[in-house]
Amino acid sequence: MKKIIVTISLLTSLFATAQQDAQYTQYMYNTINVNPAYAGSRGALSVFGLHRSQWVGMDGAPTTNTISLNTPLGESRLGLGVSLVSDKIGPTKENNTSVDLSYYIPLNERYKLSFGVKGSLNFLDVDYSKLNIYDPSDPNFQNNIENKLSPNFGAGIYVHSDKSYIGLSVPHMLQTKHYDDNTYSVANERMHMYLMAGHVFDLNYDLQFKPAALVKYVNGSPLQVDVSANFWLYEKLTLGVAYRWDASVSGLAGFQISDQLFIGYAYDAETTRLANYNSGSHEIFLRFEFLNYAKKVITPRFF
């Protein structure tokens, strides 16, 4: 009973305030979803897929599935990205489709400055039959919401080299109401601002260290700060830890199976009272890149 009460309270709080963008622990590999200026920056056609199960064991807990690709456009300075994100929580399901276009300017021999724009379409479904409704005759719960469309756009900048990056982005600039009947609002889309940075330190020939950080600001919500520290061994194995401020601690691991294929996993342990009602969160991803071996970079990119 306590688990059910906590879950209902959580869902009610989420519906009554802002609908948050999907949350990722391995944000350092999933930059394209929050910053359109990242598109094409890896210099190859990169295909990325991720599954996240959050707060496992809690009724109505969020699950997220993401697939994206991004690529440079020939010999131009343009990059293109396409992303699909499916996010479920309780009776709600959101499907977001976005297209990114970037353009970079060389700053010097090492650094590039990229600008990006994002256009997106969000489709919201709410199935009220999945709720335990106190008053079944309440007219607010008689008709499900199906494919409620909300268009949006965003922008970002990204300064990067083979060893460092810093980016600032707002992937959804329009503050929209996915559904509002003048009595209550099921889900609001509020503007999210992301600041990210990371650097790779060469500790020796076979060991590299990469600290990274992501700061997310949403009006009306607490500031979210994620910090991570990853070690890269023999350009094959990645091991690291991460901390989400006042929320969770995480363990991360990744393995470069081949020149083209990389797999990663993360486990989050809650540091809040929600830890009493779930067994943590799991996140796994695959990245596959179509490499041009005539132009292959000798040292693989860490991000």
**Share of residues in the chain with pLDDT > 90 (%):** 59
Q: For 6, list phi and psi in degrees, rounded to 5.
A: -65, -45
Segment 242-286, tens digit of pLDDT: 999 988 999 999 999 998 999 999 999 999 988 888 999 999 999
CA 53/CA 269 separation, integer angstroms = 12
pLDDT band of residue 143 (cuts 50, 70, 90) is confident
Structure confidence by residue, pLDDT tens digits, 208-236: 999 999 999 987 778 899 999 999 999 89
Work out the average pLDDT over 63-84. Answer: 94
C-alpha 201/C-alpha 291 separation (Å) is: 25
- How confident is the model at residue 199, as a pLDDT? 94
* DSSP string for residues in the chain: -HHHHHHHHHHHHHHHSEEPPP--S-GGG-GGGT-GGGTTTTSSEEEEEEEEE-STTSTT--EEEEEEEEEE-TTSSEEEEEEEEEEEETTEEEEEEEEEEEEEEE-SSS-EEEEEEEEEEEEEEE-GGGS--S-TT-GGGSS-EEEEEEEEEEEEEEEE-SSEEEEEEES----EEEEE-SS-EEEEE--EEEEEEEE-EEEETTEEEEEEEEEEEETTS--EEEEEEEEEETTTEEEEEEEETTTEEEEEEEEE-SSSEEEEEEEEEE-SGGGGS---EEEEEEEEEE--GGG--SSPP--
Read off the pLDDT of residues 159-172 as tens digits, 9 standing for 90 and up: 999 899 999 999 99
Nearest CA to 98 out of 78, 136, 68 is that of 68
Please say if the pLDDT value at position 63 is more than 90. Answer: yes
Mean per-residue pLDDT, 129-151: 71
| Residue 288, strand partner residues | 47, 261
Sorting pLDDT into bands at 50, 70 and 90, what band is 189? low
Say yes or no to pLDDT of 65 above 50.
yes
What was the pLDDT predicted at 50? 97
Mean pLDDT of 18-37: 84
Residue 28's identity, in one-letter code, is: M
Mean pLDDT of 62-68: 95
